[in-house]
Structure 1
Amino acid sequence: MSDTPLPEPLLDDDQLDRLDDFLASERVSEDALDLIGTHGFLVALAVSPREVPPATWVAELFQGEPSFTDDGERETILGLLEQLRHNAIAALEQGLLPELPFELSLDDISPEETPIGDWCAGFMEGVFLDEPGWFEEDEEAAATLLLPFMALSGLFDDEPDMAEFTTDTARLEGLVRQLPELVLDLYLHYRVPPETPKPMPRKKKPAGRRKGGKR
C-alpha cells in the first residue's frame, strides 16, 4: 500500500455547492471567478508569501460588490471563502495535499478547455495580486515553481518560452497529476523557512602533560 496520504478536502460537498450556486447566480458579476477559479485563487492566497488584505482579494474575486440578499448571506459566503483559504493553510502546514475539485487528467483535451485550466488560471490571478511578494526574493526559483501553473492556465500561450511546454501533452499530463504536490512544494518554499544547521559542539582537548611538570 502507498504511504501517500489522501488529499485533504478544503470544504465539504454541501459547502462547495453553496458557493457554486452563489457564484453562478445573476447577483455576481459576469467577470467574477467561478467556483473552480475561486478554489485555485484561494489556494494561491494560502500559499502567498505575504498576506493579502481580505478587502483586496474579495474585490478581485467578485470584480465588484455582489448583490447579497442580506447581511446573513454576506457573512455565509465570505465565511466559506475564508474557511477554504484557512483550511488550505492548515492542510499545507501539516504537509498534507489539498484535494482539487476535478479529476487529475486532461484526457487529450487542451488545459484551457478543462476545469484544470480554469483552476490554474484562478491560481495565477491570486499570484497577480502580489507579484513582488512572489518574485522578489528569488525570481528564478519562483518562475520555475510557478511554471506548471502558468503552462496549464492557458494565460501564457502566446509566450515563446511556453511553446515547449504547451505542445508536449505527455508532459502536461504529468504536471496535472502532480498539481497537489506542486502546491505543497510552493508552500514549503514560501512559508517554511529552511532549517539552519545546528552549530557543532567544540571538542574539549584532552588534558595532557605540562612541560616539565608531573602527570
Structure 2
Amino acid sequence: MSDDKPQPHPLLDDEALDRLDDFLASERVDADALDLIGAHGFLVALAVAPRDVPPATWVAELFHGEPAFDGDAEREEVLALLERLRRNAIEVLEAGGLPELPFDLELGDLAPEETPIGDWCAGFMEGVFLDETAWFAEDEEAAATLLLPFMLLSGLFDEEPDMAELANDRRRLESLVAQLPELVLDLYLHYRVPPETPKPKPRRKAPAGRGGKRKR
C-alpha cells in the first residue's frame, strides 16, 4: 500500500545549513542569539505570520543585536541565506507543501525542551512574540488552538497549570511532534490563504416598467 502523504521539502540545502550553523555557533554572535535550529523555527514563523515583519526588526531579534561580521560580504551572505530560508518556506507552503524540519520527528525518552524539537518550537514562538498582536487579532481562540502544539513542545509555558497537565500526556506529545510539518501548513492556510469568496450571483433583470428596460 503506497503512502500518499506528501514528502517534506528542505528549505535550504545541507551546505547552506552548515554555513549558517557555523556562523550562528561562532563567538562573533551574541551568546543569547538563536542557534541554527531556533533560527529555522523563527524564520518559518515569519513565513507564516499574518503580516510581514521588517527585516531590520527580525534580524536584530534573531541575533540579539549586530554580530561581528567579517566585512560586508559576509554580512550580505549570511542575511541572504536567512532570507532565502524564509522565502523558500513561503513558496513551499503556498504550494500546499510541507517544510522539512532539520531534526528527527520523535522525542525518544526525552522531554521536548531537551531536544531540537523543543528548540525549534521555542524559536517559532520567538517569531510569534515578535508581532504577537497580529497573530491573535482576528480570532484569538482559533490562534490559541493552532499555536498550542508549538507552545506545548517549546517548553516555554511549562509553569502554566494547563500546560503542565498536557505536557505529561506522552502519547499526545509524540502525536504532535509527528504532525509538526502539517501543523505549520495549517497555520499558513489560516493566516495567509483567505477563504474562497462566493461567486457573485447574477443580477435578475427587473421586469419592464419597474426600472427595467422595455423590449423594443
Q: TM-score normalised by the shorter chain: which range applies?
A: over 0.9
Tell me what 2:211 maps to.
none
CA displacement, residues 75-129 of structure 1 (integer Å, 9 cap, x when unaligned): 1000000000000000000000000000000012100000000000000000000
TM-score, normalising length: structure 1:
0.92
Q: 2:60: which partner in 1?
A: 59
1:94 paired residue number: 95
SS of residue paired to 1:41: helix
Matching of residues 19-58 of structure 1 within 5 Å: 19-58=20-59
Q: After the TM superposition, which of the residue ranges 193-202 and 112-121 deviates more from structure 2?
A: 193-202
- In the TM superposition, what is the alpha-carbon distance from 1:202 to its structure 2 partner? 6.8
Q: What residue in structure 2 maps to residue 13 of structure 1?
A: 14
Q: Deviations over 1:47-78 (max 9, x none)?
A: 00010000000000000100001111001000
SS of equivalent to 1:40: helix
Name the SS for the 1:55 alignment partner.
helix
Pairing of 1:46-195 with structure 2 (within 5 A): 46-195=47-196
Amino acid aligned to 1:48 = A
- Which has the larger Rg? 1
CA RMSD of aligned residues (A): 1.2
Of residues 111-120 and 158-167 in structure 1, the stretch that sits farther from structure 2 once superposed is: 158-167
Gaps of 5+ in 2: 206-216
Q: Distance in 1 between matches of 2:68 and 2:197?
A: 50
1:199 offset after TM fit, Å? Answer: 4.0
Amino acid across the alignment from 2:166: F
Shift of 1:201: 4.9
Amino acid at match of 1:21: D
- Partner deviation per Cα, 1:14-35 (whole Å, 9 max, x = no partner): 0000000000000000000000
How many pairs are equivalent? 204
- Indicate if the aligned counterparts of 1:145 and 1:186 stay in contact, CA closer than 8 A: yes
- Give the TM-score of the pair, scaled to structure 2: 0.92
Aligned partners of 2:120, 2:32: CA distance in 1, in Å? 15
- Bigger drift between 86-95 and 2-11 goes to 2-11
Kindly indicate whether the alpha-carbon contact (under 8 Å) linking 1:10 and 1:88 is maintained by their aligned counterparts in 2.
yes
Displacement, 1:196?
Answer: 1.7
- Indicate if the aligned counterparts of 1:111 and 1:117 stay in contact, CA closer than 8 A: yes
For 1:59 and 1:28, locate their aligned partners in 2 and report how far apart those are by CA, in whole Å. Answer: 11
Q: Distance in 2 between matches of 1:67 and 1:165?
A: 41
Distance 1:166 1:102 in 2: 20
Percent identity between matched residues is 78
User: d(CA) in 1 for partners of 2:73 and 2:138?
Assistant: 41
The 1-side partners of 2:93 and 2:51 are apart by 16
TM superposition shift of 1:164: 2.5
**Deviation at residue 161 of structure 1 after TM alignment:** 1.5
Please tell me the residue identity of whatever aligns with 1:10: L
User: Are 1:112 and 1:118, in contact at CA under 8 Å, matched by a contact in 2?
Assistant: yes
Question: Do the aligned residues in 2 keep the contact of 1:108 with 1:169 (CA within 8 Å)?
Answer: no
